[in-house]
Amino acid sequence: GAVVSQHPSWVICKSGTSVKIECRSLDFQATTMFWYRQFPKQSLMLMATSNEGSKATYEQGVEKDKFLINHASLTLSTLTVTSAHPEDSSFYICSAPRGSGGRSSYEQYFGPGTRLTVT
């Protein structure tokens, strides 16, 4: 089946630095990818929708200048957390729709997630 990969799996960085997380669709093309953040014991929170070749759509309350999203190709989207702070420590997950049209466009394949710890 379709697979979505993320890199890195975990990262520790110092406060004030920037971290880039990559999300790749391995055997299918994804014009749309989604970025989520999940704090312990809480639900997935949609941060933004990444659109290939155009600007990302951010959810209310998510700072677009802090969480930079680039969807440069049909198989790669990146999330850069700029000037990271300890409160940005979280589990970041990307997903991509299985296909286009009908149910397959809503069933999402998730990447394995990236655990970010900011010290």
Partner 1 sequence: GQNIDQPTEMTATEGAIVQINCTYQTSGFNGLFWYQQHAGEAPTFLSYNVLDGLEEKGRFSSFLSRSKGYSYLLLKELQMKDSASYLCAPLDSNYQLIWGAGTKLIIKP
Q: Which residues, including other chains, have CB under 8 Å from residue 38's CB and lie 6 or more apart? A: 44, 45, 90, 91, 92, 93, 113
Q: How are beta strands 32-38 and 90-97 bridged, if at all?
A: antiparallel
28 binds partner 1 (CB under 8 A): no
List the one residue from 73, 85, 112, 117 that touches partner 1 (CB under 8 A).
112
Tokens 């991509």: give the residue: 96
Which two three-digit tokens encode residue 6? 């993320």
23 binds partner 1 (CB under 8 A): no
93 binds partner 1 (CB under 8 A): yes
Q: Which is nearer to partner 1, 14 or 103 (CB)?
A: 103
List the one residue from 17, 18, 29, 42 that touches partner 1 (CB under 8 A).
42
Rounded to an integer, what distance in angstroms lies between the CA atom of residue 109 and that of residue 17? 30
Q: Which is nearer to partner 1, 17 or 105 (CB)?
A: 105
Chain residues that interact with partner 1, rule: CB under 8 A: 41-46, 91, 93, 95, 103, 105-113, 115
